Chains A and B, each alone.
Chain A
Amino acid sequence: MESKYRSKASFQHSLPKSSSDWRFLLPITENCRMLIIGGEQDDFTELFNKIGVSSVTWLCNPSAVTSELNENNQNYFDIVAIPFGFPAAKLTDEIEVFRKVRRLLHPGGSIFLGFSNKLGLFSKAFIANSYHSTPHHVIRYLRLSGYSDIDLYGVMSNLETPEYIFPLKADLLGFTLRHRYHYLLPARLLHYFSSRPLVSIVLYLLSYYFVIAKSNHAPETSL
C-alpha cells in the first residue's frame, strides 16, 4: 500500500499464500531430504531453509513425479509432501502416483498429502481441479500402494491456509467447531452442532483432510 505519509514502501505481506504449518505434523529434521509437490517454489524453499532443512526439492505438479524418478533419487527422500493434492487425478491413477512417490521415499519415509472430500458438506469450497477423494478411499489406496502407519487429520477451512488442523477424533472436532463458530452461531445451535453424535458423523464429511503415511517397502533396486 502506498501512502503520501510513508517515506518508502517496504511491506512484507504475511505468510506465503500457501501456508506451511503442516510441517509441524511431519518428522522434519535438519538433515532430512524433502520433496514438495505443488504450490509455489518460493513459498517453501526459503521457509524450510530458515528452519534448517537445506535439502528441499520442489516440483510444480505431480505429473513431474515420473521425470523426477530416476536412478539418482529413488529411495532418496525422507518426506514427499503434496499439501494441496493432485490436480484432478483419476482414481485409476492414484495407486500409480502413490507407488511412484513410494519409490522416491527411502524405507520408513513419509508421504504427506492434502485432499478434498468428495462427500464434503461444503463441496463448493473445493480448490479448482484439486484432487478429491474420500478418507476411506485414500487410506485404502495408500495401503494398496505399500504404505502403513496412516494418520488422518481434519483441516478447516481450506488446504492452502488452514485455520485448524486436528487428529480425526470427534471430541477434537467438537471443540474446533465451538471455537470456530462461537461468534457466529447462537450458543444453543452450536451446542447441538458440536454434540458428540453429530460430530462423529461430520468427522467424515469435512471438506479437507491431511494424511500422513509411512513407506514400508524394502529399498528399490530397479524402476
Chain B
Amino acid sequence: MEFMDTLTTYIASLRRQGKPLLSPPVRWVILSNGTADLHDCIIIFVFEANKTEPALVVKAPRLPEDGLALQIEYGRLVELWEHLGPNAVFRVPEPVAMLTLGAQAAFVISYIHGESLLHASRQKIWGKLEKVYSLAIDAAEFLRDIVDRTATQLQDGENVPTDILQKIEKFREMYHFAERENQALQGLIKNIESMRRCATHKTLIQGDFWHGNMIRNSRHGGLMLVDWQYSRWSTDVSLDVYLFLLAGALASAPQFPVEERARGAMEVLLQWRPKIIPDYLQAFGKPDQYTLMPARYGMLLCCVEKAVRASMDLGFDQVNDLIWRLLFAELVNLSDEGEFYNEI
C-alpha cells in the first residue's frame, strides 16, 4: 500500500468524542513545491467528503532524518495548546496526531482557513506604512498574549537550556568579522549572560516569528501562527520580538542583489524607527517575568540565529543565510547608531 493510502486510511479512522473526525471518503492534495529544500516537508491537504476546503493538513518530511524535528514541533504544539486553553483555537493550529507510517513520519494538524501573509503582504502591506503599522501592532499584541500565557515560573535551580553561545561560535567560524563586529558579538554575549540572571519565568517562544508564518484567519479575522518547528522554552523573547521587524524590513527592501537587499532593509528600519518600531515594542510591552534585550542586541541575536540555523540543523549553508550576515554588518555599522538604538 502506498503512503497516501496508508495515511488516508489512518486519518479516516481518527475519532473525536466517539465520532469519526472526518466523513469518508477522505481525499487529498499534495503541495509538493518541488523547488523547496530536500529537508523541507511536503504538505498534504486532507478533505472530508463533499467539502471543497481542507479539514486537516499533514506535514511529511522528505527525508526520514527530519522526522525528529516534526516530533518536536508536535510536542511543542501540544504544550502550547495546554497553556493557551480555549484560546488556542484562535491562535495556532490544533495538533491532531503524530504518526509514523512505515518509516515515514507525518504530523497532522488542523487546517486554518485564511490568507497567508507571506504572499498577501507583498502587495498589500510592505511599502504602505499605515498597513505595516497596523500589522506590527497586531503582531506584537498577539505575541505578547502567547508568551504571557505560556510563561511558567522557573523551579529553584532550574536552568533553561540554550545553545545561543554555540550559535555565536558557529557564526564566528562561518564568516570573517571586522573589529567593530567582533566587539558587537562580545557585547551580545555579555548581554545574554546578564539577561539570563534576571528571568524568573520561562516561556514558549515560536523561534521563527515572521509574517511568512502568519495567517489572517478568514473566520474571525485574527492572526494565527503556524510552523512551530523552531519553538522552544526560553527565558528571553528577543528572537521572536525582533525577528518580525527584521524579516519585514527584508521583505520591504529590493530583493537583489543580496548586498543591496541588506542595505535596503536597513533603510526600511530607519524609516520605521520614528514610529513603527517604538510603537511595536510598546504594544508588546516591557516584560517583567522573562527578558527582552535592547534592540541593539536583540536584532543582532536574530541575525546570528538565522545565519547559522541551516548550517547547524542541516549541516550545510543555504543561499539565503548570507542575507542575515549582511544585515548583521548593517546593524553594527550604522553611522547614527546612538540615535537608532536610543531608548529601544
Residues of A in contact with B (beta carbons under 8 Å apart): 1, 3-7, 9-16, 19, 21, 24-30, 47, 50-52, 160-167, 169, 171-172, 174-176, 179, 182-183
List 13 additional A-B contacts (Cβ < 8 Å) besides A50-B63, A171-B47, A183-B122: A7-B175, A7-B176, A10-B316, A12-B314, A52-B64, A160-B34, A161-B32, A162-B32, A162-B34, A164-B31, A166-B28, A175-B53, A182-B115
Q: How far is the CA of A7 from the CA of B325 in the complex (A)?
A: 12
22 contacting pairs across A/B (C-beta < 8 A): A5-B329, A6-B175, A6-B176, A7-B175, A7-B176, A11-B319, A15-B38, A15-B62, A19-B32, A21-B42, A24-B2, A24-B4, A28-B3, A51-B63, A163-B32, A163-B33, A165-B30, A171-B47, A175-B29, A176-B29, A182-B119, A183-B120
Contacts of A15 in B (CB 8 A): 34-38, 62
Q: Are A19 and B34 in contact (CB under 8 A)?
A: yes
Q: Which residue of B lies closest to A172 (CB)?
A: B29
Q: How far is the CA of A166 from the CA of B43 in the complex (A)?
A: 12
Q: Are B4 and A25 in contact (CB under 8 A)?
A: yes
Shortest CB distance A78–B (Å): 12
Q: Which of B2, B31, B47, B326 contacts A26 (CB 8 A)?
A: B2
Contacts of A179 in B (CB 8 A): 29, 31, 45
Q: Are B318 and A11 in contact (CB under 8 A)?
A: yes
Q: Which of A21, A26, A174 contacts B32 (CB 8 A)?
A: A21
Contacts of B241 in A (CB 8 A): none
Contacts of B120 in A (CB 8 A): 183
Q: Which of A5, A16, A161, A167 contacts B176 (CB 8 A)?
A: A5
Q: How far is the CA of A160 from the CA of B33 in the complex (A)?
A: 11
Contacts of A7 in B (CB 8 A): 173-176
Q: Are A16 and B30 in contact (CB under 8 A)?
A: no
Contacts of B123 in A (CB 8 A): 183
Given contacts A52-B103, A164-B30, contact A14 B54 (CB under 8 A): no
Q: How far is the CA of A11 from the CA of B319 in the complex (A)?
A: 7
Q: Which residue of A lies closest to B120 (CB)?
A: A183
Q: Which residue of B lies closest to A166 (CB)?
A: B29
Q: Could you say which of A4, A28, A51 has the most chain B C-beta atoms within 10 Å of its C-beta?
A: A51
Contacts of A21 in B (CB 8 A): 30, 32, 34, 42, 62
- 7 A-B pairs closest in CB distance: A161-B34, A19-B34, A12-B316, A183-B119, A21-B32, A166-B29, A165-B30
Interface assignment of B279: CB less than 8 Å from any CB of chain A: no
Q: How far is the CA of A121 from the CA of B91 in the complex (A)?
A: 40
Q: How far is the CA of A1 from the CA of B323 in the complex (A)?
A: 12
Q: Are B29 and A164 in contact (CB under 8 A)?
A: yes
Interface flags, B32-70, vs A, CB<8A=1, else 0: 111111100010010100011110000010111100000
Contacts of B51 in A (CB 8 A): 171
Shortest CB distance A105–B (Å): 16
Q: Are B38 and A30 in contact (CB under 8 A)?
A: no
Interface assignment of B137: CB less than 8 Å from any CB of chain A: no
Interface assignment of B199: CB less than 8 Å from any CB of chain A: no
Shortest CB distance B259–A (Å): 9
Interface of B is mostly: mixed
Q: Are B37 and A14 in contact (CB under 8 A)?
A: yes
Number of interface residues of B (CB under 8 A): 50
Q: Are B35 and A24 in contact (CB under 8 A)?
A: no
Q: How far is the CA of A19 from the CA of B62 in the complex (A)?
A: 11
Q: Could you say which of B30, B45, B175 has the most chain A C-beta atoms within 10 Å of its C-beta?
A: B30
Q: Are B47 and A24 in contact (CB under 8 A)?
A: no
Shortest CB distance B40–A (Å): 8
Contacts of A29 in B (CB 8 A): 102
Contacts of B227 in A (CB 8 A): none
Q: Which of B35, B37, B52, B258 contacts A171 (CB 8 A)?
A: B52
Contacts of A1 in B (CB 8 A): 258, 319, 322
Q: Are A10 and B32 in contact (CB under 8 A)?
A: no
Q: Are A174 and B115 in contact (CB under 8 A)?
A: no
Q: How far is the CA of A174 from the CA of B322 in the complex (A)?
A: 39
Interface assignment of B317: CB less than 8 Å from any CB of chain A: yes
Contacts of B54 in A (CB 8 A): 175
Contacts of A175 in B (CB 8 A): 29, 45, 47, 52-54
Interface assignment of B196: CB less than 8 Å from any CB of chain A: no
Q: Are A14 and B175 in contact (CB under 8 A)?
A: no
Q: How far is the CA of A7 from the CA of B34 in the complex (A)?
A: 30
Q: How far is the CA of A14 from the CA of B54 in the complex (A)?
A: 28
Q: How far is the CA of A33 from the CA of B2 in the complex (A)?
A: 15
Q: How far is the CA of A134 from the CA of B67 in the complex (A)?
A: 38
Shortest CB distance A2–B (Å): 10
Q: How far is the CA of A175 from the CA of B47 in the complex (A)?
A: 10
Q: How far is the CA of A168 from the CA of B322 in the complex (A)?
A: 41
Q: Are A6 and B174 in contact (CB under 8 A)?
A: yes
Contacts of B4 in A (CB 8 A): 24-25
Q: How far is the CA of A11 from the CA of B318 in the complex (A)?
A: 6
Q: How far is the CA of A161 from the CA of B174 in the complex (A)?
A: 31
Shortest CB distance A27–B (Å): 4
Shortest CB distance B318–A (Å): 7
Q: Could you say which of A5, A27, A51, A160 has the most chain B C-beta atoms within 10 Å of its C-beta?
A: A5
